[in-house]
Structure 1
Amino acid sequence: MTDHHPLLSGYAVWLEPAESHRATLRSLVNRLAEEQPPALRFEPHVTLYHPVALDRPLDAVVASLRSLASHVKGQLRLELLPAQGGQHYYQSVLAPVVPDEALLALRAAAEASWGPIEKPYFAHLSLLYGDLDHERRAGIARGVNELRALPKALELDSVVLVRAVGRADEWEVVHREALG
């Protein structure tokens, strides 16, 4: 693995796991990062939308985020598939999420607020960012699955606006809004 960290520049909108899952998932993400230096730690999340342009007024972005959060009645509960190796640095190891009607409606509302994204939406729980070869990614995913480290369903309780500028360890949460 090289020390190549693609730099991002924009706001990211994440769905954050409920407290019942957050600590366990954070521990898993941190352990995987420690085992794969120079991988970086990050908060567990499912990306709903990226990027929101940084030149948009922050108060308008937060207002849209609040509107998104109000579309959901309580927590989202999504089926989580087994971990797998991904194809990109920011999707090195992940667990796909089965996109249900509520998640897809939330994504559509995000695109209505900030514009359509050309790439198809691939809902997933990020587990490891890194510049690893395919075999290594697959091996790490296999290890996660053998440990049964992931829940079968993921409860998400908030939508989070993250200023994703630079490396993952430089990103900062700008606003958090409870769903519902």
Structure 2
Amino acid sequence: MADQPHSENEVLSLWAVPANPQHLADVIASLAEELGTSKFDPHITILGSIPVPKDEVLELTLKVAAEARRFNATLTEVTGHARFFECITATPSPTTELRTLRAAAEKIFEGHCQSVLPYRPHLSLLYGELDEPAKEAVIKRLKEQTGVGIGVLGEVIPIERLQIWTTGRSVEEWEMIGEALLDM
């Protein structure tokens, strides 16, 4: 598990990340540049706002990874939401593996994380606040251009690893501090 220095009490997030993220990273970067929002690495949040010291979170992440198997998810829907970090998202299917991964993480991180919202697996494509017409125009483009350019519908994303990121600051300051491969 690779790790980089950070303060002991930072807020951290546990992400499932695509094995080959380049196309999704390009889509996210293109939308961010076009709409003046922040770029971020493609991911599906498994747990957010983890207030656990670095050494402990890295050890717990290894335990989660050991309990989960690698899997493929297909992006089946693109939708818009009112939440800043879910402005435009793609829905990975099947979600059974993601819900199983989330349940394992909740069990292993028990007592450290308290989720107030029900878990809805998604891969964010755009952070920010857009009015509904602008949001719908972007969603339409993402749906119509399947397989080339900006399109994401039908894209199969292999999920092979978990990463821990600092997420308690501005998006531009987020950094990965560790990762673990999922079991074969």
| AA matched with 2:62 | R
- The answer as to 2:121 corresponding to 1:120 is no
Q: Could you say which residue in structure 2 is the equivalent of 1:3?
A: none
Which residues in structure 2 correspond to 1:8-157 (within 5 Å)?
A: 10-19=11-20, 22-37=21-36, 39-53=37-51, 56-73=52-69, 75-112=70-107, 113=109, 114-148=112-146, 149-150=151-152, 152=154, 153-157=156-160
1:110-162, Cα deviation, whole Å (9 max, x unpaired): 11213341210011011000111122112111111111121523211110000
Distance 1:99 1:61 in 2: 27
Distance 2:58 2:16 in 1: 14
For structure 1, which runs of at least 5 residues remain unmatched after alignment?
1-8
Equivalent pairs counted in the alignment come to 166
Distance 2:96 2:48 in 1: 20
| AA matched with 2:163 | V
Secondary structure of 2:167's counterpart equals strand
Distance 1:83 1:96 in 2: 6
Which residues in structure 2 correspond to 1:159-174 (within 5 Å)?
A: 159-174=162-177
TM-score of the pair, normalised by structure 2: 0.84
Secondary structure of 1:82's counterpart equals strand
- The answer as to 2:157 corresponding to 1:158 is no
Q: Is the 8 A contact 2:82 2:129 kept in 1?
A: no
Provide runs of 4+ in structure 1 moved above 4 Å: none
TM-score of the pair, normalised by structure 1: 0.86
Distance 2:47 2:115 in 1: 8
Task: Report % sequence identity.
Answer: 26
For structure 2, which runs of at least 5 residues remain unmatched after alignment?
1-9
| AA matched with 1:70 | A
Distance 1:40 1:116 in 2: 26
Q: Could you say which residue in structure 2 is the equivalent of 1:6?
A: none
1:86-121, Cα deviation, whole Å (9 max, x unpaired): 221111111012353322121012112133412100
| AA matched with 2:145 | L
Distance 2:144 2:95 in 1: 26
